[in-house]
């Protein structure tokens, strides 16, 4: 446990780096999609997408996963029934962030090949997902509790926001 706080510090920094990619990558996809007729601009955005995903996002995601696993190994109480189940909820939503992260890689490959099957509004709405998941995760970590009401209300408000963003008129 001597190094636990150092691992926690590293974990928080890794999460911050990973979240930066999760928040910004879909915004690049909005620009890419909405300016697809500007080839020089798109080529620059493709480079940004690759570097953000491959050199920042993926390493930060793995640093988050590994440091989190080490902390659980050092403090298995976090997964015990006495801890209240908040860590299980956190891990579930963290897994959804991992899936979301890989989905960004999928969309990056599609756009890299000039496959524009999704609109700018789709990526605007999709950009709200990590915020909703992060709100849930941070809520569990800070309160050290799992609340069904907090979870359901957050998911419902998040779904409403995603729907409203998706349904807004396309930018011309």
Cite the annotated binding site for heme by residue number: 11, 90
Q: Which two tokens stand for residue 12?
A: 């928080």
Q: Maximum distance among all alpha carbons in the chain?
A: 57
CA within 13 Å, CB half, 76: 1
CA dihedral 114, 117, 118, 119 (to 10 degrees): 80
Q: DSSP state, 80?
A: S
Q: Is-contact 41 127, C-beta < 8 A?
A: no
Known binding residues: 11, 90
* Tokens linked to 77: 């109480």
**Cβ neighbourhood burial of 153 (10 Å; 0-12, 13-18, 19+):** exposed
């Amino acid at each position: 446990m001597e190094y636990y706080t150092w691992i926690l510090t590293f974990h928080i920094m890794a999460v911050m780096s990973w979240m930066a990619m999760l928040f910004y990558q879909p915004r690049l996809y909005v620009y890419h999609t909405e300016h697809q007729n500007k080839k020089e601009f798109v080529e620059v955005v493709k480079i940004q997408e690759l570097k953000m995903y491959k050199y920042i996002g993926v390493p930060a995601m793995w640093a988050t996963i590994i440091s989190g696993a080490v902390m659980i190994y050092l403090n298995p109480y976090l997964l015990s029934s006495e801890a209240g189940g908040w860590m299980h909820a956190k891990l579930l939503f963290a897994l959804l962030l991992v899936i979301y992260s890989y989905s960004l890689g999928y969309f990056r490959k599609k756009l890299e090949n000039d496959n524009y099957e999704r609109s700018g509004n789709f990526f605007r709405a999709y950009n709200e997902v990590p915020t909703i998941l992060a709100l849930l995760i941070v809520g569990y970590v800070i309160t050290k509790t799992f609340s069904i009401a907090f979870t359901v209300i957050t998911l419902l408000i998040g779904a409403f926001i995603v729907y409203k963003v998706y349904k807004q008129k396309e930018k011309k």
